[in-house]
């Protein structure tokens, strides 16, 4: 029995699989998994304090779309096991870049295809078709007035 438990233990240490209870969602495209900060490569989501405007039957309301996307990601992950495919390089901030999956479904593809994230074509064209689909079908953020996250950040940092 001890040998069996040892094999299971080694499997989890040397695999990319982690349990969701070792997870913190930082924002819509960054998680901390077992202490490792992982930035979803090829996508970008609104910043936590970024706002969008939604029109519902002629009534406009302003809301924090970055927090909204983070909440969507938290709900999508739930208590499921996460598997991340890491890239060899890190981003500008030293974060691991990768694509993470829940139940064999890419979280990045889910976010972009449902309109909660944008294809970050500056770094990858992998999710361009998913973005076209979301835009064509007016899904998620595409049903609102928004500013692209990279434009929001550029204006934010310009004021410093």
Long-range pairs for 124-131: beta carbons < 8 A, 24 or more residues apart: 124/41, 124/42, 126/42, 127/42, 127/43
Supply the pLDDT for residue 159: 60
Domain that residue 52 falls in: 2-158
Copy the structure tokens of residue 39.
Answer: 């930035």
What is each CA distance from 51 to 46, 57, 95, 100, 102, in whole angstroms?
8, 19, 25, 26, 28
Supply the pLDDT for residue 8: 38
Helices (H), 38-127: 65-77, 107-113
The tally of domains found in the chain comes to: 1
Supply the pLDDT for residue 14: 39
Each residue's pLDDT, cut to its tens digit, for the chain (160 residues) gives 555 434 333 333 334 444 445 899 999 999 999 999 999 999 999 999 999 999 888 888 898 999 999 999 999 999 999 999 999 999 999 999 999 999 999 999 999 999 999 999 999 999 999 999 999 999 999 999 999 999 999 987 766 4
How many residues does the structure list for the chain? 160
Which CATH number do you get for residue 100?
A: 2.40.50.90
């Amino acid at each position: 029995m001890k040998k069996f438990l040892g094999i299971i233990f080694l499997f989890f240490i040397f695999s990319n699989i982690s349990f969701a209870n070792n997870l913190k969602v930082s924002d819509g495209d960054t998680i901390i998994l077992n202490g490792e900060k992982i930035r979803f490569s090829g996508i970008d989501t609104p910043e936590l304090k970024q706002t969008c405007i939604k029109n519902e039957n002629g009534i406009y309301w302003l809301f924090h779309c970055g927090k909204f996307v983070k909440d969507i990601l938290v709900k999508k992950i739930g208590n499921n096991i996460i598997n991340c495919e890491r890239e060899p390089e890190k981003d500008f901030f030293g974060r691991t870049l990768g694509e993470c999956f829940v139940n064999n479904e890419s979280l990045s593809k889910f976010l972009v295809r449902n309109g909660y994230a944008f294809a970050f074509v500056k770094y990858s064209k992998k999710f361009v078709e998913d973005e076209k689909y979301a835009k064509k079908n007016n899904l998620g953020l595409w049903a609102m007035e928004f500013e692209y996250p990279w434009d929001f950040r550029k204006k934010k940092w310009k004021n410093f």
